[in-house]
Structure 1
Amino acid sequence: MGNLEVISNIKAELGEGPVWDARSGAVYWVDIEGKRFFSHNPSSGQLEEHDAGQRIGAVVPREQGGFIAALENGIFTYDPASREWIEWSDTERDLTGNRFNDGKCDAAGRLLAGTMSTIGEPKAGALYRFDLDGRVDRLEEGVSTSNGLAWSLDNQFLYYIDSNTQTVAAFDYDLESGTVSGKRTVIEIPKEAGTPDGMSIDAEGMLWIAHWGGFKVARFNPQTGELLQEIRLPAPLVTSCAFGGEHLDELYITTARVGLSQEKLEQYPLSGSLFKVKLAVKGTLSIPFKG
């Protein structure tokens, strides 16, 4: 892939969760283990860093301004002007062996975010929906590593990755109520291809999945499970991807360096960078949190 660019070689410990904000023309992404998140404006080249003070699994722009974020100890809002974090929901704060991981908003502007164990406890996590009025519903339990989220173009299906299953699941999704049903497996990822992590959906309804340990992002057809395309990266731990840019034809890709040996870090010095690649296909807009 000749047009792969390194946008920021910030060496994130665990870069994750890129999200494009069309209003500000900026891409945001987190460094979970670095307990911080970043913003990059491609037109000005400006890069900003925000300290979260605890592990941060996902950050999402908020319609009224600022952000909502899935942190280690719950859901928080953040005001970048005052740099103030305010607790919005204490969901799972009592589960000290868990933390929040990936999160994304549905077309109604509700936040979906899931949890995982930090102490290797299998099936200790869950997937939650956070409504605009603060109501919380658990959509799925017995999750090991709650990860990628994407909705079909007509919002009738929610695609979801629990990384440990090596699969992408689909649920029937009721956008009006935010409820799920009819879970089934639509894509299976062989272990030798890496572990499925974050994902995004393009304007043709195809899924782009980051492969942890697989050096790549791969495009799949969720109707058939077929692998359509691969983008190789000079970093083994590929974590997530999101479409951005003025025409939504640029894919931003996050990577990690956590747990890599010194030898591997010397071999793949761009691990932890944010990458960008121009594509022939366009993506879909990220939805801000409307609560």
Structure 2
Amino acid sequence: MQIKTITTYLLFCIALSIISCKEATTTALNTSNTLKHKAVLEYQIQSKLGEGSFWNYNTQELYWVDIQGKTLHIYNPKTKSNKSLVVPSMIGTVVPSTQSNKAIIALQDGIYSIDTNTGDLQLLSAVEQAITTNRFNDGKCDPSGRFWVGSIAFDETPHAAKLYMLDNNQNAILKKDSVTISNGIVWTRDKTTMYYIDTPTSEIKAYDYNDPTGAISNERVAVKVSDTLGYPDGMTIDEHDNLWVGLWNGSAVGCFNPKTGNLITKIEVPALNVTSCAFGGKNLDTLYITTATKDMGTEQLKQFPLAGSIFKAVPGVKGVKGHFYKE
């Protein structure tokens, strides 16, 4: 009886150990489910606050901005050349226009059209011109070619900013109030969902989106970004409607499945502050990534000497064509 009891106990312990091993293995597999890639240097430049990446599929060029450097950049990967247009104030983002050699930019005091050949500006909307404590930040166009852009207070005062939609007749319409740092914004391929980031919340919000009217409703949290990953910044979307997000203070781009909230791919970037990304190239299979030197100390700059540069990765998925502004 005693031997049987001991034998039974030993068998129980062995079974328990097997279960524990299986659980540990499952946990390890779940942890390692995130695919990892490494970005490589594409164009070396020490921008202060590189942002707003957008692939112009007509010209096969990457549009991007240096916010604090007050510069619109147009980079040609084929020739490795970078054209720079200095603007009068901080520039938050850029989107090409359907008009040839024109783009829409968000400056400190308003939304402008810029001639990409000459740099000449035309004011389209001065919607926040009177709010001198704010500047415009990130933005993109929706499927109908309306320009969505948000603001940020210079001192990042909580809830002092807003999100606007500039319609095709250049009317600026308030879409969201009480924002702190308005950042990434994208739409699904079926034009029914919009995703949006207010950075300090560490959340990617989802909205039901009505394309004919531009109306948004039913706000909910699609992704909660872990503090261990950094802060969500600029964002793009791929052919599967997964979200690719620059991670400020995270040295990476994270790809999230908005249906589950899970991180499914991580691209490691040799820069501390990763700000935005855009799928480009002839087949939209190359992810171009902007970075910044802002808020970095001397030791951090030594650790990340390529900070502020443009990087790229080929993650094995394709993006979708970005929407141009329709005037």
Query: Would you say same fold, with TM above 0.5?
Result: yes
1:36 aligns with 2:75: no
Asked if the contact 2:150–2:182 (Cα under 8 Å) also holds between the matched residues in 1, the reply is: yes
Report what 1:16 is aligned to: 51
TM-score (norm. length: structure 1): 0.98
Report what 2:129 is aligned to: 93
* CA distance in 2: counterparts of 1:153 and 1:80, whole angstroms: 28
* CA distance in 2: counterparts of 1:231 and 1:82, whole angstroms: 36
> Once the 2 structures are TM-superposed, how far is the Cα of residue 263 of structure 1 from its aligned partner?
1.1
> Once the 2 structures are TM-superposed, how far is the Cα of residue 192 of structure 1 from its aligned partner?
2.1
Q: Which amino acid aligns with 2:141?
A: C
* CA distance in 2: counterparts of 1:197 and 1:3, whole angstroms: 19
> Once the 2 structures are TM-superposed, how far is the Cα of residue 80 of structure 1 from its aligned partner?
2.3
Q: In the alignment, which of 252, 277, 293 is matched to residue 216 of structure 1?
A: 252
Q: In the alignment, which of 147, 165, 188 is matched to residue 152 of structure 1?
A: 188
* CA distance in 2: counterparts of 1:81 and 1:48, whole angstroms: 10
Give the direction of change, closer, same or farther, for the CA distance of 1:139–1:29 in structure 2 (3 Å limit).
same
**Structure 2 counterpart SS, 1:260:** coil
In structure 2, stretches of 5+ residues that fail to align are 1-35
Report what 1:77 is aligned to: 113
* CA distance in 2: counterparts of 1:258 and 1:208, whole angstroms: 22
Q: In the alignment, which of 74, 83, 96 is matched to residue 61 of structure 1?
A: 96
Q: Which amino acid aligns with 1:174?
A: N
* CA distance in 2: counterparts of 1:114 and 1:196, whole angstroms: 15
Q: Which amino acid aligns with 2:186?
A: A
**Structure 1 counterpart SS, 2:282:** coil
Which one has the bigger strand percentage? 1
Q: In the alignment, which of 236, 258, 268 is matched to residue 232 of structure 1?
A: 268
Asked if the contact 1:221–1:227 (Cα under 8 Å) also holds between the matched residues in 2, the reply is: yes
Report what 1:271 is aligned to: 307
**How many residue pairs align between the two structures?**
291
> Once the 2 structures are TM-superposed, how far is the Cα of residue 268 of structure 1 from its aligned partner?
0.4
Asked if the contact 2:38–2:267 (Cα under 8 Å) also holds between the matched residues in 1, the reply is: no
Asked if the contact 2:37–2:267 (Cα under 8 Å) also holds between the matched residues in 1, the reply is: no
> Once the 2 structures are TM-superposed, how far is the Cα of residue 4 of structure 1 from its aligned partner?
2.9
* CA distance in 2: counterparts of 1:42 and 1:9, whole angstroms: 12
Task: Please give the per-residue CA displacement for 1:256-283, whole angstroms capped at 9, x wherever unaligned.
Answer: 0011001110110011011111121000
Report what 2:287 is aligned to: 251
Which one has the bigger helix percentage? 2
* The structure with more radius of gyration: 2
Asked if the contact 1:62–1:288 (Cα under 8 Å) also holds between the matched residues in 2, the reply is: yes
Asked if the contact 2:111–2:125 (Cα under 8 Å) also holds between the matched residues in 1, the reply is: yes
**Structure 2 counterpart SS, 1:164:** helix
Report what 2:278 is aligned to: 242
> Once the 2 structures are TM-superposed, how far is the Cα of residue 153 of structure 1 from its aligned partner?
1.6
Asked if the contact 2:38–2:268 (Cα under 8 Å) also holds between the matched residues in 1, the reply is: no
1:50 aligns with 2:50: no
* CA distance in 1: counterparts of 2:146 and 2:279, whole angstroms: 20
Q: In the alignment, which of 201, 206, 213 is matched to residue 242 of structure 2?
A: 206
Give the 4+ runs in structure 1 shifted more than 2 A: 1-5
> Once the 2 structures are TM-superposed, how far is the Cα of residue 241 of structure 1 from its aligned partner?
0.6
Give the direction of change, closer, same or farther, for the CA distance of 1:166–1:3 in structure 2 (3 Å limit).
closer
> Once the 2 structures are TM-superposed, how far is the Cα of residue 176 of structure 1 from its aligned partner?
0.3
* CA distance in 1: counterparts of 2:154 and 2:55, whole angstroms: 28
Q: Which amino acid aligns with 1:120?
A: E
* CA distance in 1: counterparts of 2:287 and 2:269, whole angstroms: 13
> Once the 2 structures are TM-superposed, how far is the Cα of residue 47 of structure 1 from its aligned partner?
1.4
**Structure 2 counterpart SS, 1:263:** helix
* CA distance in 1: counterparts of 2:173 and 2:216, whole angstroms: 11
TM-score (norm. length: structure 2): 0.87
Report what 2:214 is aligned to: 178
Report what 2:166 is aligned to: 130
Give the direction of change, closer, same or farther, for the CA distance of 1:109–1:13 in structure 2 (3 Å limit).
same
* CA distance in 2: counterparts of 1:70 and 1:42, whole angstroms: 24
Asked if the contact 1:3–1:278 (Cα under 8 Å) also holds between the matched residues in 2, the reply is: no
In structure 1, stretches of 5+ residues that fail to align are none
Report what 1:116 is aligned to: 152
Task: Please give the per-residue CA displacement for 1:198-222, whole angstroms capped at 9, x wherever unaligned.
Answer: 1111001111111100111011110
